[in-house]
Structures are given as structure tokens and as C-alpha cells.
């Protein structure tokens, strides 16, 4: 069973059991991560201790997930088992929620998680003053289309007041896209100066001891780290965190019986967000999370963007975003702005442009008809599964597989999925 622990210093001389992988996150240089943040998140300002601890947990979950390979089996994945040892100041508050937290991580990644919390002293780290005083909300800006619409709508909604756009820079290739989207939004909607804060956090390829770390590329838990960093940032000013995602994709309808879902993450699933907020709140953390588009399809979000700034500007903004689920294009020397066109994220994106009647100028690989890329695209494509799903149609029984929260009406979920499926059908006109 893989065992992982996190240390908040750079001392690699202390022995660990051979079965345990240690990650180091010291306040200064060194350690196992490339990051703009220390373990007390001092660059963000005076973050409450429970939110700092939530980020440490998310960082260790992400690092363990990134380091433990899984074997693909059709559309499912091998279930892995993890043991984590997380350093916190007050273990009791996390022990009280541990039995709810472990299955929630399983819901997110499809694995089994066992977590231990141990006391650690607070590292010596400079805590900055509040960097963005007076903001009304924090909006996650990944560089994707949904987050772009969320940032656009938030700026329009706040009028003379300010928000903070927060980007997690895991892959540096996405950073220029995030910056460009933020700049475009600032120009498209009149308002006060707009804050955009990129946060760098990724696991290094080698330990500081020189040991090379294994790589797993599915990393369903990466978005949990983004969410935890967002809550930590929002906690400084005690404002809501927006995590914009269309509700249809959030429900994650399986295209075939052997799939967990059509997309690779459940971070915006209503049950996950609701449960995480409750657990974090009970542990004392700031946990006000809101998805403003939980009841909308992606096409409806694109239509909203067009209504805010016009069809031409909306089409250009949305075409400049990044929705592709795959990061292997560099193997084929393909620019990061190029999309495969055949993963679920790309298919939903293409359908949404159709639904909103917007021009899609995204560069898609599938339109190139390149024999050298055919095997690559065939491996990434979910088109066959999607066509099968659309041919049989959405069924009420499909909704029973969605793990809805108890307060989410089944009829509302079915209607949302019906509209989402109708948009996907636009890809294959009869």
C-alpha cells in the first residue's frame, strides 16, 4: 500500500520507512514542489490556520496521486489504496471529520484513502499583509471556457466593485492563456482595475535527494488543490469563492455503463462541493463555495457571454480558451492552444459553439486529417461512446447513477441533462 507523508522543512537526513515516500515543503528554497507559496501560504496574507491545513492536505493528496501509477481498463481505472500522513497544528479538528473526508476523496479519484493527521509546529514564514483588500469575491480562472464566462459574468455583476481572478499554474504552458483571458475580460467589461493572481504549485520530477519520482498523468485530484488554494485566498477577506462550471458537465453523466463519468474530474459535482464545504466548515475553515452555473449547460453559458459582450467578442474570447483534457500534444510538437477535438471536453466545447451560434476558431487536430496523428486521436477519442449514448437517448434511469445530493431534485437534474444532450446532438445533424 503506497504511504506518503509531508514535512514542512528541507531536512532530508531523517530516516523514513522504505514503504513511505516523503514530500518536503519548506518555507524557503528546496523541497519537493515548484511553488510561489510556503507551507503557511504567507504570500496570500493572513490565511486562517484551518484553510492552511486544508491546502496541505490537498497538496499531499495531489502529490500522492501524481506519483502512483494506475492501469487503464477500458474507460475505468485501477483503484489504488493510499495512506497519507498530514502535518497540521490541531489534529483533533481534522480527526473529527476524517471518516467523512476519506470517502469524499474516493468519490473524487476512484481510489481508497486512509488519512492520519499529526501535530506540527507552525513553520517560521513571513506573512504578508492582505494583498487585495476590499475584493468582493474570488473567481477561479483555469484558462478554460467555463471559467472565462464566470470571470466575465462576475465582473459585469460586481459593477464598480472588484473581484480577484485566481489561476493555478501547474503546467506553465497554460499560464499565457490564463493571462490573456484575464486581460481580455478586463477590456471587454468596463470596471475598476482587475486583480489576477497566478499561483504556481506543481510536484517536481525529482526529489531534492536526486531520486526520480514516478508520474501518473490522470491526476483527478489536481483540481482539489486549486479549490483549496481558492478557499485559502478567499478566506483572507472572508468572501465567496466562485468555481464556474456548467452544470451538465458537473453532473458527469456516464456515456457507457463501464464509465465512472464522461469527464475525468468530479470536483464541481454538486455532491462533492456540498460535502467538501460542510467538512471544511466543521474543521473551522472558510468554506463558502458557489458555482454560479450549476443550473446551466455550457451552450447556455456561451449564450450568456454573447449577451454580455456581443457575439464577435464572445466568440474570440471563448476560442482563445483551453478546454482539451489531454496534455500530450507536446510529444507531437503541437502548440498548447491546439485541441484534440475528440475528447469529451472538446466535443462539449464544439457543441456549445453550435448551440450559441458563435464562430469557433479553435484549432482542432481532428480537422487536419493527418495520418501521423490518427493513432493519437483514436486513443483520445470518446466519439464512439458519445454516438452510442446519443443514439439510445437520455433515460430517466441515467439520473439515478449521478449521486445527487438529497436536496437536488431528480427532475431538475434530468431537465438539465436533457438540454445538455440536445446540445451534443448538434454535432451530428441527421
Least confident range from 143-152, 175-184, 204-213, 336-345: namely: 204-213
Supply the pLDDT for residue 414: 98
Quote the pLDDT of residue 14: 77
Q: Is pLDDT of 100 > 70? A: yes
Residue 386 has a pLDDT of 95
Pick from 263, 319, 266: nearest CA to 149 = 319
Mean pLDDT, rounded, for 314-323: 97
Q: CA-to-CA distance for 413 and 426, rounded, in angstroms? A: 21
Q: Render pLDDT for 384-411 as a digit per residue (tens, 0 to 9).
A: 999 999 999 999 999 999 999 999 999 9
C-alpha span between 217 and 264 (Å, rounded):
11
Give yes or no for residue 429 having a pLDDT over 50. yes
Q: Is residue 74 pLDDT above 50, yes or no?
A: no
Q: Please give the residue that has the higher pLDDT: either 423 or 258.
A: 423
Q: Closest Cα to residue 319, out of 173, 184, 175, 167?
A: 184
In this structure, are strands 163-169 and 195-203 parallel, antiparallel, or unpaired? parallel
Average pLDDT over residues 57-70: 93
pLDDT over 70 for what percent of the chain?
Answer: 94
- Nearest Cα residue to 391 out of 358, 427, 366, 337: 427
The pLDDT score that the predictor gives to residue 216 is 83
pLDDT digits (tens, 9 = 90+) for 249-271: 999 998 876 665 555 578 999 99
User: What is the reported pTM?
Assistant: 0.94
| Cα 346 from Cα 355, distance rounded (Å) | 14
Q: What is the pLDDT of residue 344?
A: 93
Cell of 113: 484513502
Q: Is the pLDDT of residue 17 over 90?
A: no
pLDDT of residue 75: 44
What value does the mean pLDDT of the chain take? 92
Give me the mean pLDDT over the 271-291 stretch: 98
Cα distances from 221 to residues 3, 146, 226, 409, 427, in angstroms, run 17, 19, 9, 27, 30
**Tell me, what's the pLDDT at 259?**
62
The x, y and z cell numbers of residue 270, run together, are 454538486
Determine the pLDDT at residue 262: 52
Q: Quick one: average pLDDT of 180-184?
A: 98
Whether 112 contacts 269, CB under 8 Å: no
Amino acid at each position: 500500500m503506497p504511504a506518503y507523508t509531508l514535512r514542512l522543512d528541507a531536512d532530508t537526513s531523517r530516516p523514513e520507512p522504505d514503504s513511505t515516500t516523503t514530500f518536503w515543503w519548506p518555507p524557503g528554497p528546496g523541497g519537493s514542489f515548484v511553488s510561489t507559496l510556503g507551507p503557511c501560504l504567507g504570500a496570500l496574507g493572513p490565511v486562517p490556520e484551518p484553510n492552511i491545513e486544508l491546502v496541505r492536505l490537498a497538496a499531499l493528496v495531489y502529490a500522492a496521486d501524481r506519483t502512483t501509477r494506475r492501469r487503464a481498463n477500458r474507460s475505468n481505472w485501477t483503484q489504488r489504496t493510499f495512506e497519507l500522513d498530514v502535518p497540521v497544528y490541531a489534529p483533533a479538528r481534522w480527526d473529527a471529520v476524517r471518516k467523512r473526508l476519506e470517502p469524499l476523496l474516493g468519490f473524487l479519484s476512484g481510489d481508497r484513502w486512509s488519512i492520519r493527521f499529526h501535530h506540527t509546529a507552525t513553520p517560521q514564514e513571513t506573512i504578508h499583509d492582505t494583498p487585495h483588500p476590499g475584493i468582493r469575491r474570488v473567481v477561479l480562472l483555469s484558462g478554460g471556457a467555463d471559467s472565462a464566462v464566470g470571470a466575465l459574468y462576475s465582473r459585469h455583476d460586481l459593477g464598480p466593485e472588484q473581484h480577484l481572478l485566481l489561476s493555478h499554474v501547474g503546467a506553465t504552458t497554460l499560464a499565457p492563456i490564463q493571462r490573456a483571458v484575464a486581460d481580455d475580460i478586463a477590456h471587454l467589461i468596463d470596471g475598476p482595475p482587475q486583480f489576477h493572481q497566478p499561483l504556481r504549485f506543481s510536484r517536481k520530477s525529482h526529489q531534492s535527494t536526486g531520486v526520480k519520482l514516478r508520474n501518473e498523468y490522470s491526476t483527478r485530484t489536481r483540481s482539489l488543490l486549486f479549490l483549496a488554494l481558492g478557499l485559502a485566498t478567499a478566506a483572507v477577506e472572508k468572501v465567496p469563492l466562485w468555481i464556474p462550471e456548467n452544470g451538465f458537465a458537473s453532473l458527469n453523466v456516464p456515456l457507457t455503463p463501464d464509465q465512472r463519468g464522461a469527464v475525468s474530474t468530479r470536483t464541481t459535482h454538486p455532491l462533492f462541493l456540498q460535502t467538501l464545504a460542510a467538512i471544511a466548515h466543521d474543521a473551522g475553515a472558510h468554506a463558502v463555495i458557489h458555482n454560479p452555473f450549476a443550473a446551466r449547460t455550457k451552450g447556455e453559458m456561451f449564450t450568456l457571454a454573447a449577451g454580455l459582450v456581443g457575439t464577435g467578442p464572445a466568440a474570440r474570447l471563448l476560442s482563445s480558451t483551453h478546454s482539451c483534457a489531454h496534455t500530450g500534444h507536446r510529444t507531437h510538437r503541437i502548440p498548447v492552444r491546439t485541441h484534440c477535438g475528440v475528447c469529451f471536453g472538446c466535443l462539449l466545447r464544439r457543441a456549445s459553439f453550435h448551440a450559441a451560434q458563435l464562430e469557433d476558431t479553435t484549432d482542432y487536430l481532428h480537422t487536419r486529417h493527418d495520418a501521423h496523428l490518427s493513432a493519437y486521436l483514436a486513443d483520445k477519442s470518446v466519439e464512439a461512446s458519445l454516438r452510442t449514448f446519443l443514439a439510445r437517448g437520455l433515460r430517466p434511469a441515467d439520473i439515478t447513477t449521478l449521486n445527487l445530493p438529497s436536496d437536488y431534485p431528480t427532475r431538475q437534474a434530468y431537465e438539465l441533462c436533457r438540454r445538455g444532450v440536445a446540445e451534443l446532438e448538434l454535432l451530428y445533424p441527421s
